Amino acid sequence: MPLKKRITVLFTVLIILSAFGCTAGKHPGWVANGIHPGYAPDQFLVGVGLASRSRDAQADVQKADTNARLEVAKQLKVKLQSNLTSLKEQKTRSLLPETFTSKTVVGVKEEVDLLLGGITIVDRYYSKKDQLHYAVAVLNKLETAQRLSSEITLHSHNVEVLSRQSEVLLDHGDIVGSLQKKIMALDHYRKYISKKQMVAVLVPQAPASDDVPPGDPYDGIVELKNSIDLIRLDGNMQAGRIGRSLEKPLRVKAVYNHHTPIDNVPVIAQFQDQAGRGERTVVTGKDGTAAIKVLEIEKTSRHLNPITVSVDWNRLIKEALRDAPDTPWDGFFSGPSVTFKYKLRVPNVSNVLIKICNRGGASGVDAPSILHPTSADLLRKKGFLIKKTGRGTADSSVCSGAMGIESIVRKYKPLTDILVVETVDVDFSGRRGQGYVFRARMSVTAYDMAYREIIASVEGEALGGANNRKKAAERAIEEVADELIPQIVSRIAEGL
């Protein structure tokens, strides 16, 4: 092998050995005890991570590095959680200033995530015997604390500036703008408090800072929030149908101090829709009002169903902080809200009126006495309420077909929710041996009084035979009824 090529190969091997450490002989002490001689525990947080050997050496090294960083993070979490618990206990004994609240402290996980970028890998080792990759990660306590201290000063300044801007906007009547400035101030305040706790954990022996903590914006937000009301204007107690929109939008008004309209307030309606839990958000106009159209309500087990309309704090916070916030805000604020109710039509609250049109009356057959009991029984089994009207003979105006849907609604809406009109014609069809055969033609139409439309319509015919004319006609009616009435009852139930 040429000398130049041998030097290149040797140089490559040296690089690999420097990355992975010695592959034979005794393990470095930090593998077992987690203490690296170059990084004193009083100055550094040290973490050791490992990964089993696979066919991808580079991925194995990266995994060991990641696990080492996570070990440092784990130590941070334990220390922060202990410190936070201690602070909360002191708070209950009134030993901390009011600026410390459980609402304004960023969670332990978020604290650690903020500093993961400062954790560095300083050594690696590969054990050929155990086929394990090892890595050492460290976090310089003093350097990190110094960096955090400069960030703390900036956060404190931002809290004061944003709080002043919020008050100016409030004086000019911009309620939403003032709220968003307060939210921005609170975001900086949370980071201010959290980083102060991080410095206390990293350098507990550091002298106490003489800086004056900024005021906590949280109480100011709550005070302003409590001055906002939502007033329910229109859209309550509507009748709803499964899979349909409510006929009227839900109208609300946002006001400040009980009477001043507030524009640009995002309000959200939460209800049951076909995808599960539905939400729709709109923004109030200059008059403080908003109209929310509720789409595609879903079947529920209740007749009366709530729709809650409230200020959409998630949207307010997201718009105030522009993009996704660094720290979680879920459930931070709630209210004000108002509740609407809609009446979902279900069988056990729906009245059905059955009307029979008997055209022809062949052989003296009393069609209503056959059809009405059959229809009423099947509808009751579905849970519907049947209006009692004797045998249910329809008016001639309905049977003649002269009445349109609007006329039918005007006539029957005061009496029922659903009108079922059954029309039957019975004609002699011929002889069969010593008996008689009749043909019954039937149509059934269900009208929806609330929505002024036809829910369902079916038609059909059947033959019936017997030794006498009347019995044959009755059997023909029974045959066609047995085919059509179950269909119409199912469609009515589905059409609610």
Q: Where are the domains of the chain?
A: 16-205, 224-344, 348-495
pLDDT-derived band at 168, boundaries 50, 70, 90: very high
Q: Check: CATH 3.40.50.10610 for 348-495?
A: yes
Radius of gyration (C-alpha) of the chain in whole angstroms:
39
Residue 92 has pLDDT above 60, yes or no: no
Cβ pair 105, 193 in contact under 8 A: yes
Q: What is the pLDDT of residues 45-88, one digit of tens each?
A: 899 998 999 989 899 999 999 898 888 888 877 777 776 555 54
- Mean pLDDT, range 265-294, rounded to an integer: 83
pLDDT-derived band at 329, boundaries 50, 70, 90: confident
Instruction: Tell how strand 266-273 and strand 351-359 pair up.
Output: unpaired
Q: Helices 108-115 and 57-92 sit at what angle, rounded to 10 degrees? A: 130
Gap between the Cα atoms of 135 and 21, Å rounded = 10
Gap between the Cα atoms of 409 and 350, Å rounded = 16
- Mean pLDDT, range 272-293, rounded to an integer: 81
The order of strands in the sheet holding 44-52 is: 44-52, 132-140, 120-127
Token pair listed for 391: 């045998």
Half-sphere exposure of 401 toward its Cβ, with a 13 Å CA cutoff? 5
> What type of residue is 143?
E
pLDDT on residue 245: 83
Which pairs count as long-range contacts for 77-83, CB under 8 Å and 24+ apart, including other chains?
A: 77/108, 77/109, 77/112, 79/201, 80/108, 80/111, 80/112, 80/197, 80/198, 80/201, 81/108, 83/197, 83/200, 83/201
Residue 12 has pLDDT above 50, yes or no: no
Residue 116 has pLDDT above 90, yes or no: no
pLDDT on residue 446: 94
Gap between the Cα atoms of 28 and 34, Å rounded = 10
Residue 236 has pLDDT above 90, yes or no: yes
Cβ pair 476, 463 in contact under 8 A: yes
pLDDT on residue 86: 54
Q: Which residues pair with 252 in a beta bridge?
A: 232, 290
Gap between the Cα atoms of 358 and 347, Å rounded = 27
Token pair listed for 473: 């006609």
pLDDT-derived band at 404, boundaries 50, 70, 90: confident
Cβ neighbours of residue 130 closer than 8 Å, sequence gap 6 or more: none
Q: What angle do CA 419, 239, 391 make, to 5 degrees?
A: 20
pLDDT on residue 93: 34
Sign of CA dihedral 373, 379, 381, 386: negative
Residue 221 has pLDDT above 70, yes or no: yes
Cβ pair 112, 73 in contact under 8 A: yes
Residue in 477, 233, 215, 245 with CA at minimum distance from that of residue 362: 477
Residue 90 has pLDDT above 60, yes or no: no
pLDDT on residue 2: 55
Residue 11 has pLDDT above 90, yes or no: no
Q: What percent of the chain has pLDDT above 90? A: 44
pLDDT on residue 80: 74
- Mean pLDDT, range 298-323, rounded to an integer: 85
pLDDT on residue 362: 55
pLDDT on residue 106: 42
Q: Which residues pair with 290 in a beta bridge?
A: 252
- Mean pLDDT, range 322-342, rounded to an integer: 78
Q: What percent of the chain has pLDDT above 70? A: 81
Residue 393 has pLDDT above 60, yes or no: yes
Which pairs count as long-range contacts for 48-51, CB under 8 Å and 24+ apart, including other chains?
A: 48/134, 48/135, 48/136, 48/137, 49/134, 49/135, 49/137, 50/132, 50/133, 50/134, 50/135, 51/132, 51/133
Alpha-carbon distances, residue 213 vs 85, 168, 371, 483 (angstroms)? 21, 22, 83, 81
Q: What is the pLDDT of residues 457-490, one digit of tens each?
A: 999 999 999 999 999 999 999 999 999 999 999 9
Residue-averaged pLDDT of the chain: 82
Gap between the Cα atoms of 403 and 395, Å rounded = 11
When the candidates are 3.10.150.10, 2.40.50.140, 2.60.40.10, 3.40.50.10070, the CATH number that belongs to 224-344 is 2.60.40.10
pLDDT on residue 305: 85
Lowest mean pLDDT, pick from 69-73, 112-116, 432-436, 457-461:
112-116
Gap between the Cα atoms of 276 and 16, Å rounded = 56
- Mean pLDDT, range 288-313, rounded to an integer: 85
More confident residue, 482 or 397: 482
Q: What's the farthest any 2 CA atoms get from each other in the chain?
A: 121
| pTM for the full predicted model | 0.66
